[in-house]
């Protein structure tokens, strides 16, 4: 039978539990208090990032020697997520300056590849911010989410301008749009990040 450790403390596992799902359901129902969540799961010392996927849930407990679980306050998870999003935004902003310089050096293929990656990064940033709003603001999301939607609306004509310049192969114009207009539009998300910090209690 597997051994269970929660935040460094050993706990017994009921012999009636056959699978990881049996144990997880019991933990989430009876042992993990409100406001807390599982942040990491390890089977025999190996991290299990997708511990709620069906293949993992169906794994028999008798095939695992040691189960180690880390439980943290939800607030800590949210705080870290906000910091991660803020860091991700800064990375995107830095990449804009780099991409603009690559276009000015006429290294077009490399710049186009990085520009495509930048677009994907911007989409991910928007998605992450909206997810955090839902987690942090709850019922306040409809009024607060206007800040994200407003920033997205300001982004759209800038992104279209980039596409138009790319189609026209006007690389200097494209570089200027990326470095100045797009960078300015992305800074519109600062308001949302600051509000999330305020509402979640980050100093």
Domain that holds residue 159: 76-200
Single out the residue in 23, 41, 73 at which a domain terminates: 73
Judgement on whether residues 50 and 80 belong to the same structural domain of the protein: no
Tell me how crowded residue 103 is: count the other CB atoms within 10 A of its CB. Answer: 27
Q: What is the DSSP string of 151-166?
A: HHHHHHHHHHHHHHHH
Return the closest-CA partner of residue 41 out of 62, 29, 57. 57
Q: Note the helical H segments in 9-68.
A: 20-26, 54-57
Judgement on whether residues 98 and 67 belong to the same structural domain of the protein: no
Dihedral of CA atoms 146, 189, 154, 166 in degrees, nearest 10, equals -150
pLDDT tens, residue by residue, 8-21: 999 999 999 999 99
CATH number, domain of 147, equals 1.20.120
Judgement on whether residues 138 and 65 belong to the same structural domain of the protein: no
Single out the residue in 73, 100, 127 at which a domain terminates: 73
pLDDT tens, residue by residue, 84-118: 999 999 999 999 999 999 999 999 999 999 999 99
Report residues of the chain scoring pLDDT below 50: 142
Q: What is the pLDDT of residue 142?
A: 47
Confidence (pTM): 0.71
- Read off the tokens for 187: 């800074």
Judgement on whether residues 35 and 98 belong to the same structural domain of the protein: no
Single out the residue in 22, 50, 73 at which a domain terminates: 73
Q: What is the pLDDT of residue 134?
A: 82
Count of the separate structural domains present in the chain? 2
Q: What is the pLDDT of residue 148?
A: 86
Judgement on whether residues 96 and 125 belong to the same structural domain of the protein: yes
CATH number, domain of 19, equals 3.10.20
Judgement on whether residues 182 and 87 belong to the same structural domain of the protein: yes
Judgement on whether residues 68 and 161 belong to the same structural domain of the protein: no
Judgement on whether residues 42 and 80 belong to the same structural domain of the protein: no
Tell me how crowded residue 78 is: count the other CB atoms within 10 A of its CB. Answer: 19
Q: What is the pLDDT of residue 140?
A: 61
Judgement on whether residues 26 and 81 belong to the same structural domain of the protein: no
């Amino acid at each position: 039978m597997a051994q269970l450790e929660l935040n460094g403390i050993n706990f017994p596992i009921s012999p009636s539990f056959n699978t990881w799902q049996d144990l997880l359901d019991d933990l989430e129902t009876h042992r993990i208090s409100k406001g807390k969540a599982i942040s990491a799961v390890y089977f025999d010392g190996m991290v299990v990032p997708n511990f709620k996927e069906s293949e993992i849930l169906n794994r028999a407990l008798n095939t695992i020697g040691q189960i180690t679980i880390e439980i943290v306050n939800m607030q800590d998870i949210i705080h870290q997520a906000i910091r991660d999003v803020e860091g991700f935004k800064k990375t995107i902003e830095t990449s804009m300056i780099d991409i603009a310089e690559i276009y000015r050096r006429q290294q077009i293929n490399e710049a186009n590849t990085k520009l495509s990656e930048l677009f994907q990064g911007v989409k991910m940033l928007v998605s992450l911010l909206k997810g955090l709003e839902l987690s942090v603001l709850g019922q306040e999301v409809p009024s607060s989410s206007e800040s994200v939607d407003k920033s997205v609306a300001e982004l759209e004509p800038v992104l279209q301008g980039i596409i138009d310049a790319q189609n026209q192969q006007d690389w200097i114009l494209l570089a200027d749009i990326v470095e100045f207009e797009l960078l300015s539009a992305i800074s519109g998300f600062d308001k949302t990040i600051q509000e999330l910090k305020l509402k979640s209690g980050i100093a």
